[in-house]
Amino acid sequence: MDVRAQMSMVFHMDKCLGCHTCSIACKNICTDRKGAEYMWWNNVETKPGTGYPTLWEDQDKYHGGWTLKNGQPRLRATDKVRGFTNIFFQPYLPQLDDYYEPWTYRYEDLFDSPEGDDQPIARPVSMVTGQNIDTIEAGPNWDDDMGGTPVYAENDPNLRGLSPQEREELFEFQRLAFFYLPRICNHCLNPGCVGACPAGAIYKRGEDGIVLISQDKCRGWRFCVSGCPYKKAYYNWNTGKSEKCILCYPRLESGQPPACFHSCVGRIRYLGVVLYDADRIEEAIKAPQGDLVEAQRRIILDPHDPQVIAAARASGVPDDWIDSAQRSPVYRFVKKWRMALPLHAEFRTLPMLFYVPPMLPVIAKIEGGTYEVSDGDIFGSLEQMRLPVRYLASLLSAGNEELVRESMRKQYAVRFYMRAVKVGDVDKGRAEQILKAAGLTAEEAQEIFYLSSLVMYNERFVIPPYSREYNIEVAELGDVGHRTAPQTHKGETGIGFRKPARRGA
Give the pairing type, strands 43-47 and 179-183: antiparallel
Name which position in 248, 359, 393, 414 contacts ligand SF4 (CB under 6 A).
248
The reply on whether position 188 binds ligand SF4 by CB under 6 A is: yes
∠ CA 311-315-318 to the nearest 5 degrees? 95
Name which position in 20, 205, 241, 244 contacts ligand SF4 (CB under 6 A).
244
- For ligand SF4, the closer CB: 153 or 273: 273
C-alpha span between 499 and 288 (Å, rounded): 20
What is the CA 72 to chain-centroid distance, rounded?
Answer: 25
Write the DSSP assignment of 253-268 as a string of letters.
HTT---HHHHH-TT--
DSSP code of residue 354? E
The reply on whether position 186 binds ligand SF4 by CB under 6 A is: yes
- For ligand SF4, the closer CB: 181 or 247: 247
The reply on whether position 292 binds ligand SF4 by CB under 6 A is: no
- For ligand SF4, the closer CB: 462 or 474: 462
The reply on whether position 189 binds ligand SF4 by CB under 6 A is: no
The reply on whether position 13 binds ligand SF4 by CB under 6 A is: no
**Per-residue string for binding with ligand SF4, 220-239, x by CB under 6 A?**
--------x-x-xx------
| Distant-in-sequence, close-in-space partners of 418: CB < 8 Å, separation ≥ 6 | 445, 446, 449
# residues contacting ligand SF4 (CB under 6 A): 27
Site for ligand SF4 in 260-279 (CB under 6 A): 260
**Per-residue string for binding with ligand SF4, 193-222, x by CB under 6 A?**
x-----------------x-----------
The count of other CB atoms within 10 Å of the CB of residue 435 is 23
Name which position in 4, 12, 20, 187 contacts ligand SF4 (CB under 6 A).
187
The reply on whether position 259 binds ligand SF4 by CB under 6 A is: yes
The reply on whether position 246 binds ligand SF4 by CB under 6 A is: yes
Site for ligand SF4 in 300-339 (CB under 6 A): none
C-alpha span between 472 and 482 (Å, rounded): 11
**Per-residue string for binding with ligand SF4, 19-38, x by CB under 6 A?**
------xx---x--------
**Per-residue string for binding with ligand SF4, 398-437, x by CB under 6 A?**
----------------------------------------
Name which position in 38, 41, 321, 331 contacts ligand SF4 (CB under 6 A).
41
Question: Considering the complex, what minimum distance in angstroms separates the CB of residue 185 from ligand SF4?
Answer: 3
| Distant-in-sequence, close-in-space partners of 255: CB < 8 Å, separation ≥ 6 | 463, 465, 466
22-36 b/e with 16+ CB inside 10 Å = b?
bbebbbebbbeeebb
Strand partners, 4: 276
C-alpha span between 190 and 171 (Å, rounded): 37
C-alpha span between 133 and 417 (Å, rounded): 55
CA distances (Å), origin 165, targets 100, 162, 168, 170, 171: 33, 8, 5, 8, 10
What is the CA 416 to chain-centroid distance, rounded?
Answer: 28
Question: Considering the complex, what minimum distance in angstroms separates the CB of residue 59 from ligand SF4?
Answer: 12
CA distances (Å), origin 117, targets 106, 113, 409: 20, 11, 64
CA distances (Å), origin 241, targets 234, 396, 426: 9, 31, 58
- For ligand SF4, the closer CB: 342 or 376: 342
For the chain, the maximum distance between any two Cα atoms, rounded to a whole number of angstroms, is: 80
Select the span of 77-85, 252-260, 280-288, 355-363 touching ligand SF4 (CB under 6 A). 252-260
Name which position in 245, 295, 300, 339 contacts ligand SF4 (CB under 6 A).
245
- For ligand SF4, the closer CB: 335 or 344: 344
- For ligand SF4, the closer CB: 246 or 362: 246
The reply on whether position 349 binds ligand SF4 by CB under 6 A is: yes
Find the helix packing angle between 442-449 and 401-422, rounded to 10°.
90
The count of other CB atoms within 10 Å of the CB of residue 250 is 12
- For ligand SF4, the closer CB: 195 or 361: 195
- For ligand SF4, the closer CB: 50 or 190: 190
- For ligand SF4, the closer CB: 30 or 398: 30
Question: Considering the complex, what minimum distance in angstroms separates the CB of residue 211 from ligand SF4?
Answer: 4
One-letter amino acid for residue 270 of the chain: Y
SS3 390: helix
The reply on whether position 184 binds ligand SF4 by CB under 6 A is: yes
Question: Considering the complex, what minimum distance in angstroms separates the CB of residue 461 from ligand SF4?
Answer: 12
SS3 237: coil
Binding site for ligand SF4 (CB under 6 A): 25-26, 30, 41-42, 184-188, 191-193, 211, 228, 230, 232-233, 244-248, 258-260, 349
